[in-house]
Structure 1
Amino acid sequence: MKTYFVDSFTNEKFKGNPAAVCLPNIELDAESMQSIAAEIGFSETAFIKQIKDNTYSIRFFSPKTEIPLCGHATLASSKILFSTTSFESIKFININNVELFIEKEADKIKMQFPVYETEETEVPQKLLDALGVSEILEKRYSPNNKIILLEIESARKLADLKPDFTALVNSHTGINGVLLTAISDNENFDFHYRYFWPWAGTDEDPVTGGVQTFLTKYWAKKLNKTKLNAFQSSLRTGTMSTELVQDKVYILGEAVIVLEGNFIL
């Protein structure tokens, strides 16, 4: 099975978020895809298969479970197809029949994702203790993603967080992850964020595109602007630009191919 490793949301190798992109030439069941994703060990492995012309099915697996929607693995898959075909645009269809429209824009890849609403929520004190945060400016929840959103006061404090992941995963049930965000202290960006998801994937996702389905709208409302620049302050770091257009969010980013090979099935 043709397989690629791609670093997403970066123009440098070994930065951003690594994803595996697999192009199976036989039918694979979910159990097999899950085993392959666990073997590779990245936060996401994408499996893409051509339906017709420039339309592909896409499925995403963390080392633990299938994830319906993933930004960085969609970007990685787009990078591979734009590099190996003559397509100028791509349409992916995910496991929930959500259509993702992708196109080139200069040296970047532009992805169209849906926008999801958030609602007010409460979080257990033991979850905040596990994260190492004491002051929360706002608490929201994205039902579509099963992700808690917490805004804190400082981008510096966000970057310095060192969660206790054993305590964190035991502090809550029924969620996929916790997203922490803060207004930027850098003039090149509007907001910073980090994503912790030991419930469904790895301890921390290096760069997360899928959360922009609700995070862009959150900051667009707070900052009264529709075009935003985001910085993910993980160890590897990553950047992206987003634009809110009615019920869609456009995510623009770069990606670098770092490995090409064959997975022996």
Structure 2
Amino acid sequence: MAKAAVRYCVIDAFTDSAFKGNPAAVCLLEEEKDDEWLQAVAREFNLSETCFLTRLNGSRFALRWFTPTREVELCGHATLAASHFLFSYGLAEESDRVEFSTLSGTLTARRIPSNNDRFLIQLHFPASSVVEYNGDDTSYVSKCLNGASFDEIHSTLPTQDILVLLPSYDAVCKLEPNLDEIKKCSGRGLIVTAVATSEFDFCSRFFCPKFGINEDPVCGSAHCALAVYWSRKLGKSHLIAYQASARSGVLYLDVDEEKSTVVLRGEAVTVMEGSVLV
């Protein structure tokens, strides 16, 4: 008996233009697949994230995220891509709200009408904590930055990313990090950030080579920490962020520290659709 094909789309998240933002493969499962198969498919797509949806009931879905090398507990851009997929193809019973059961708990996404029949996706994510850097000294961070100057170092929880404040927007854009050193970090990866141009509140880049992602084009989960950090630093709860990767991306953020939540908003564009045949 032939195996049922698995429907998929590749969706660029946190952008309004094709081939920008962060691409994610979104696969809709009609039957259970084992973890080995899920990881093999993610490795085949070889994108920063491949996610898998399974309908639970109505507008509630199970959602799992895989990099080319492992499953992760939270991914912002692939959640936005999954939401865009469900809303665009009318696959959820509710036209403007879906709910996901994930390793990070229940996450919700809403469809927010925009201009010219387009729409934003609004995600409610748990806020990350930004704490004092827990390293013994700063020489390791300097090695990660290939000797580039920096102003502050922090750690994020629960991901244990190293968050580094650089002197300027240009310093973020021009950074050439040492990926071999970043692979040695005890946590997930390295975030660099700085104040941005007048159009945006701040900019950032994120490097995660130990998860098979040398540079994540636009990282939603990193912004769960960045939003908290810059909200405190700038004294404002609504922020517009620019991820300064080669593909680039824009995120609209709202921080509610009392409720420990970060609301992320962004657009997405479907660029491919097809079937996994095996």
Q: What's the TM-score bracket when you normalise by the shorter of the two chains?
A: over 0.9
Contact 1:8 1:253 in 2 (8 A): yes
Which residue is equivalent to 1:114? Answer: 126
Q: Is the CA contact 2:159–2:188 (under 8 Å) kept in the aligned structure 1?
A: yes
Alpha-carbon displacement from aligned partner over 1:67-94 (angstroms, at most 9, x marks no partner): 1100000000000000111521011111
Alignment of 1:99-110 (within 5 A): 99-106=106-113, 107-110=119-122
- Counterpart of 1:161 (choices 167, 175, 179) is 175
Match of 1:152 in 2: 166
Q: Which amino acid aligns with 2:156?
A: S
For residue 3 of structure 2, what is the aligned residue in structure 1?
none
Alignment check: 8 A CA contact 2:195 2:202 kept: yes
Q: CA deviation at 1:45?
A: 0.4
Deviation at 1:166, TM superposition (A): 2.8
After TM superposition, the score normalised by the length of structure 2 is 0.90
Q: Structure 2 residue aligned with 1:25, among 30, 40, 49?
A: 30
CA distance in 2, matches of 1:127, 1:2: 42
> 2:261 corresponds to which residue?
248
* Shift >3 Å, 4+ stretches: none
Structure 1: how far apart are the matches of 2:54 and 2:43? 20
1:94 aligns with 2:131: no
Aligned residues of 1:175 and 1:199 also touching (Cα < 8 A): no
Q: What do residues 114-159 of structure 1 show as CA deviations (whole Å, max 9, x unaligned)?
A: 1121221136524422323433222111231121111111110110
Distance 1:75 1:65 in 2: 20
SS at match of 2:211: coil
**Residue 273 (structure 2) pairs with residue 260 (structure 1):** yes
| Contact 2:151/2:164 (<8 A) preserved | yes
Count of residues paired in the alignment: 261
Percent pairwise identity: 33
Q: d(CA) in 2 for partners of 1:210 and 1:173?
A: 18
Does structure 2 conserve the Cα–Cα contact (< 8 Å) formed by 1:115 and 1:248?
Answer: yes
Distance 1:87 1:209 in 2: 23
- Residues in 1 aligned to 2:167 and 2:147: alpha-carbon distance in whole angstroms: 10
Residue matched to 1:66: 71
The answer as to whether partners of 1:23 and 1:48 remain within 8 angstroms in 2 is yes
Provide the rounded CA distance (Å) in 2 between the counterparts of 1:108 and 1:58: 20
- The answer to whether the Cα contact below 8 Å between 2:205 and 2:244 also exists between their aligned partners in 1 is yes
- Paired amino acid for 2:267: E
Q: Deviations over 1:159-190 (max 9, x none)?
A: 00112323432xx3422111111011x11100
Could you tell me which of 60, 80, 83 is aligned with 2:88? 83
TM-score by length of 1: 0.94
Deviation at 1:264, TM superposition (A): 1.1
Query: Secondary structure, in 3 states, of the residue corresponding to 2:129?
Result: coil
**1:162-241 residue pairs with structure 2 within 5 A?**
162-169=176-183, 172-184=184-196, 186-241=197-252
Q: Give me the CA root mean square deviation.
A: 1.4
User: Are the aligned partners of 1:240 and 1:253 in contact in 2 as well (CA < 8 Å)?
Assistant: yes
For the residues of structure 2 that align with 1:164 and 1:178, how far apart are their CA atoms? 10
**230-239 or 119-128: which moved more?**
119-128
